[in-house]
Amino acid sequence: MSRTIKGLLAGMSLLVSTTAAAQSDNHVYVGLGWTVKNGWVPSAIVGARSVDVDGVGDVTGVDLSLSYHLTDGFDKFLLKGVRGEIDWQAELGGGYDFQQEALLLAGGVQGRLINFSANVSMSGDIDGGVAINSIDKYEWQP
């Protein structure tokens, strides 16, 4: 066999063994979030996360959430990709802002029980916020 084929087979077996070692962690979470735009009145957040955790502590997956502002009604619907370590993950995605009736580009960082976020609407408005939620550290079980 040529070296190229041997190299491809070795790379494929490494990918398969890494994928097989990853464990799924799917759960629903809740939280309260505050943004600069909405001030001290919080939004209630309900979301679902589906992530894979591998043996070296890397986390990848998706996050889907819906927030409801306690005085103004539905706030944001977001779908974000998640990538990071077991105790923190970067988030990037998009969604819809019901208050401004605009599409959003959303980013943030999820730590243990806390999330920092920034949203940019297609109209150019920028909003940042912080949320306390029930997402804790992910663990890989051998």
Cα radius of gyration (the chain): 18
Q: Report the pLDDT value the prediction gives residue 137, as an integer from 0 to 100.
A: 87
Give the confidence band of 133 by pLDDT, cuts at 50, 70, 90: very high
pLDDT, average across residues 54-60: 93
Please give the average per-residue pLDDT across 22-29, as a whole number.
93
DSSP letter at 134 equals S
Query: For all residues of the chain together, what is the average pLDDT?
Result: 89
Residue 134 has pLDDT above 50, yes or no: yes
Confidence tier at 135 by pLDDT (50, 70, 90): very high
In angstroms, the CA 130 to CA 35 distance is 6
Question: What mean pLDDT is predicted for residues 55-71?
Answer: 96
pLDDT at 15: 47
- Look up the pTM and report it: 0.82
Predicted pLDDT at 72: 94
Tell me the average pLDDT across 113-132. Answer: 96
Element (H, E) at 19: helix 3-21
Mean pLDDT of 104-111: 98
Check pLDDT > 70 for residue 3: no
- The residue ranges of every structural domain in the chain are 22-133
Query: What residue ranges in 36-125 does DSSP mark as E strands?
Result: 43-53, 58-69, 73-85, 88-97, 102-110, 114-121
| pLDDT single digits (tens) 65-100 | 999 999 999 999 999 999 999 999 999 999 999 999
